Amino acid sequence: MIPFSKEDEHVAKLAISLSLACGFNSKMAGLIGDAAALHDCGKVKVPEYIINKPGRLSLDEMEIMKTHTIWGAYILSELREELRMIAVNIVAFHHEKWDGSGYWGYRGGVIPYYCQIVSICDMYVALTANRPYKEPWPPSEAMEYIKSNAGKTFCPKLVRTFLGCYQLQFAQVFNLSQRDPLTEKSQSFIMESVEVKQLKIQDERMSIP
């Protein structure tokens, strides 16, 4: 089955909240959250020594890491139709940057807006998480980093919306002990709609079509 971590769940919850703030209706926000929970599923095809490397990746290792977006799109191509396009786009585009300096060079409005939403949420969670190569950043520093990358990594308008959402409601999303309506709704979207347990990953030796 396709696994997702607590960090993936955090990304999904933030993506739902930010999607609603950007004007998506609740159904679409839920689909974006479903897909966001699986945005890094392609990493099951990346060797663990690269995933867990404590230092900077070499150029060759980085090229291997980039393939997790391709693998993820391939794996999620088996999703139910309603979710498939959104999920495949999110795993394929979530490392693209507003200025075109991301994995595959897509820029600006070419990147689907809901993919940009997941990208900024993923960045916040990654910065504030403990990783083999870094200590977790304080939330305030993570927000300053995102703010400083408006117009470079992220769409300036989306950054403004993200900052506004953080002030209003993101803090409660991360309080996992508080069973607020947003948390309950997010968990329902992730656990019921995605049907993670029914998705089987192909043999490790298969090649990318």
Can you tell me the distance from the alpha carbon of 17 to that of 8, in angstroms, rounded to the nearest whole number?
14
- The number of domains in the chain is 1
Burial (CB count within 10 angstroms: exposed 0-12, middle 13-18, buried 19+), residue 195? middle
**178 located within any domain:** yes
**182 located within any domain:** yes
**50 located within any domain:** yes
**180 located within any domain:** yes
Would you please indicate which residues are annotated as catalytic (active-site) residues? 43
- 63-97 pLDDT per residue, tens: 999 999 999 999 888 887 888 999 999 999 999 99
| pLDDT, position 87 | 93
- Give this prediction's pTM: 0.79
Please list the residues that pair with 154 across neighbouring strands.
150
Query: 3-class DSSP state for residue 134?
Result: strand
CATH number of the domain that residue 106 is part of: 1.10.3210.10
104 membership: H or E segment, kind and range? none
| Mean pLDDT score, 189-203 | 34
**205 located within any domain:** no
Closest CA to 108 of 152, 72, 76: 152
Q: Which residues contact 86 (CB under 8 A, 6 or more apart)?
A: 31, 32, 34, 35, 114
**207 located within any domain:** no
**209 located within any domain:** no
Structural domain of 147? 6-198
**41 located within any domain:** yes
Can you tell me the distance from the alpha carbon of 131 to that of 141, in angstroms, rounded to the nearest whole number?
16
